[in-house]
Amino acid sequence: MAISRIKKLELIGLKRDKERILALLQKLGTIQLIEEQGPAFAQGIAGSDSLSPSLLEIQDAISVLSVFQKPTAMLGGMIKPKPLVYRQQLKEVIELFDYQNLLQELSCLRNHLKELSQHKERLIQERYLLSPWRKLEIPLDQVSYTEHCGILLGIAGIRDYPKFQEELTAAGLNLYCQLLNADKANAYMVIFYLKEEIGGLETTLKAHRFNFITLTRHPDTAADRLLEINTQGLILDDQIEEIKDKIRNLSLSCFKLMVTYDHLANIRRIGEADGILVKQQFTFSLSAWIRERQVRALEKAMAAEFKEVALFISDPVPGDEVPVELENNPLVEPFEFITKIYGFPKYSEIDPTPYMAPFFFLYFGFCVSDAGYGIILTLLSWLVLKRFRMGPQGSRFFKLFLFCGISTILVGALTGSWFGNLPDLLAQYSKAFLPFKNFKDSLIILDPMKEPTKLLGIALCLGIIQVWFGNTVAAIGNIKNRRYLDVFLDQVPMLTFLFGLTGMALVFLKLLEPLRTPVFQYAALFAAVALILTQGRSEKGLGSKLFYGVYNLYSALSGYLSDVLSYSRLWALGLVTGVMATTINLISVQFSQIFLSVIPFVNRVAILKVIVSSIILVGIFICGHLVAFFMNLLGAFVHPVRLQFVEFFSKFFKSGGRPFRPFKVETKYINIG
């Protein structure tokens, strides 16, 4: 229940066995190689570097093909379970599948697709440029000079156009100007002019900021060319669809590509591991971390296959940066999900998971606090766990929610909330539900609607308990690391201080008889003085020591207050669920009656009335509770997690541990079954 004990392993073997040893180690997956910065230079197994570009290609191909596959992701893409592959299938694919061929084919198709798409783009561009000139009657390649005349196309501002017209006529030039098209901003025109008059024309044109336009030359007119572009576009679209279909066909082999990728990636990992080894002329050596409980299995496996291998097991030396792995009993294990979000504790320190688990379990239930929602959550998690095979991460996640669902059912039953006040409503509606209501009432120890303040008190008490516990765990951590003096100088005064303060507060709130007050006051005073004296001990200089002592005293005081008050969020979340659930019930009942009176026809016919009103009622009930369920679920997860991290872990957690990452067969795309 805690951090796995890790041993150091040193292995010396013959060079000729090196690759097979590495393959066996990867298969066992129980050691983490220590990177040596030894004198022997590292060179990967020949050929492993040449694998890298092809791995990238395969990865690229997989992402392209996945776009073309039919989506099979769960929950709208939020969770993508990896497909499960059995070892036999694995072998078949690796031996028979020609991935190079597929990659080449795919590459060909993609290039072709790119060409076609670019062509299409060009056509669209051309169409965009040509379409204002549809009405030009002369073929495009005749828009140039004849013997005496010139033809030009251009755009002027539409507002400017009348004035422009006037000026042209006033200039008295021999020209023909036709307005071909006009839109909100521009006037498109063609001008036929005499070459010798180009000077005068140009001045007028420039004065009106005339934009000269050149169109690509074609033997057709603009209109004909546009038609042709459209036809070509359609042909291109068909071709593009064809190619996409071919790629879609290829995407059926995406799965095999994924298997190949994982296989090749693992081979590359062996190559990388090889680079870490210290090599001599005939032998090589490696050092690694291994979990204590797996040493025996490794020794056996090695002995079974290799006769000339030497293994040395030793304990880590203080000062080593030992990697950390958490191991806990199956009830606590799902809560490691939460610890891992925060980070890993140092190897010598404590694993907070077993201490945090019961609190989180309770708080989650407290926040959702509705037995009906708890039942839904438990059922959903259980179904997902049963139906889908997931890796350890996924199954830990859903197991966590399974447990928390049970907690929710418990807390909901104890506060009498089953989808809000549903049992009460049902009992009102018909006597048949009365025994259920009585059963539910018998379980209630506190009704949040009737006594919200008491519930607040409970939430704050939970806070006080956890803060005390946090300090206690810090003491445990110090004892484990033989920092006995720290226990006396830090935890003991702090705990006494908290004890004294809490006592004084309880007396003040008239929850305890005032007789005991002196005990609390003296405790608090004594502890305060002790804190002032001890908290500054790592500083230099008397002034600094005192200052830090007082400062720490103050922060202990205000910190305690703010920590405990932070737990009122549990109360708020729990209360709100009850309010929401009850209100949804109310809304569904009332709306089903109101809407009935609005629809005139239905009101007369009794049976229709019943049917429609039940449909409305059930509809609003289901939708409303689903929405409330998900909203509460998110909040009920995040806020207890925040409480654990900020109010609990901060008291004792020393992060900075590195996770234990064994050298093993890793799969990015598939799960091996």
CA-CA distance, 272 to 255, in Å (whole number)? Answer: 26
| Touching another protein, residues 399-428 (CB under 8 A) | none
Q: How far apart are CA 532 and CA 547, in angstroms?
A: 8
Pick the piece of the chain touching another protein (CB under 8 A) from 54-62, 168-176, 220-228, 576-584.
576-584
Contact positions with another protein (CB under 8 A) in 499-528: none
Start-to-end C-alpha separation, the chain: 28
d(CA 46, CA 263): 17
Other CB atoms within a 10 A radius of the CB of residue 247 amount to 18
Q: Which is nearer to another protein, 263 or 569 (CB)?
A: 569
Contacts to another protein from residues 165-204, by CB under 8 A: none
Measured from the CB atom, the residue of 76 and 199 that comes closer to another protein is 76
* Pick 300 or 642: Cβ nearer another protein: 642
**From the CB of 661, what's the least distance to another protein, in Å?**
17
Side-chain-side CA neighbours of 309 within 13 Å: the count stands at 23
| Distance in angstroms (rounded) separating the CA atoms of residues 199 and 57 | 62
Query: Does 542 help bind another protein (rule: CB under 8 A)?
Result: no
3-state SS, one letter per residue, for 179-239: EEEECCCEEEEEEEEEHHHHHHHHHHHHHCCCEEECCCCCCCCHHHHHHHHHHHHHHHHHH
CA-wise closest residue to 250 among 54, 58, 69? 69
* CB 80, min distance to another protein, A: 9
Residue list 428-467, contact with another protein (CB under 8 A): 452
Write out the two tokens for 504.
């004084």
Among 331, 594, 599, 626, the residue binding another protein under the rule CB under 8 A is 594
Contact string 128-167 vs another protein (x = CB under 8 A): ----------------------------------------
Using CB under 8 A, which residues numbered 609 to 648 contact another protein? 627, 631, 634-635, 638-639, 642
CA dihedral sign of residues 256, 261, 262, 267: positive
Which residues sit opposite 155 in a β-bridge?
Answer: 188, 211
Q: Write down the least CB distance from residue 571 to another protein, Å.
A: 8
Report the distance separating Cα 586 and Cα 422, nearest Å: 10
> Who's near 286: CB < 8 A, 6+ residues apart?
10, 11, 33, 34, 36, 276, 277, 278
Q: Binding to another protein (CB under 8 A): which residues in 30-69?
A: 67
To which H or E segment does residue 359 belong?
Answer: helix 353-368
Q: Which is nearer to another protein, 157 or 635 (CB)?
A: 635
- The residue range among 2-10, 466-474, 489-497, 564-572 that interacts with another protein, by the rule CB under 8 A, is 564-572
Does residue 569 touch another protein according to CB under 8 A? Answer: yes
Size of the site for another protein (CB under 8 A): 27
Output the smallest distance, CB 602 to another protein, in A: 19
CB under 8 A, 24+ apart: contacts of 44-50: 44/271, 44/272, 44/274, 44/275, 45/19, 45/270, 45/271, 45/274, 47/271, 48/267, 48/268, 48/270, 48/271, 48/272, 48/274, 49/271
| Shortest distance (Å) from residue 576 CB to another protein | 5
CB 320, min distance to another protein, A: 31
Write out the binding residues for another protein, residues 87-106 only, by CB under 8 A: none
Is residue 605 near another protein by the rule CB under 8 A? no
Provide the minimum distance between the beta carbon of 598 and another protein in the complex, in angstroms, as a whole number: 13
**Taking contact as CB under 8 A, which single stretch among the options 138-146, 157-165, 567-575, 662-670 is the one that binds another protein?**
567-575
Tell me if 124 contacts another protein by CB under 8 A: no
For residue 629, give both structure tokens. Answer: 């369920």
Q: Residue 565 interacts with another protein (CB under 8 A)?
A: no
**Measuring CA to CA, which residue among 576, 559, 374 is closest to residue 456?**
576
64-83 residues near another protein, rule: CB under 8 A = 67, 73, 75-78
The residue ranges that bind another protein (CB under 8 A) are 67, 73, 75-78, 452, 569, 571-573, 575-576, 579-580, 583, 586-587, 590, 594, 627, 631, 634-635, 638-639, 642
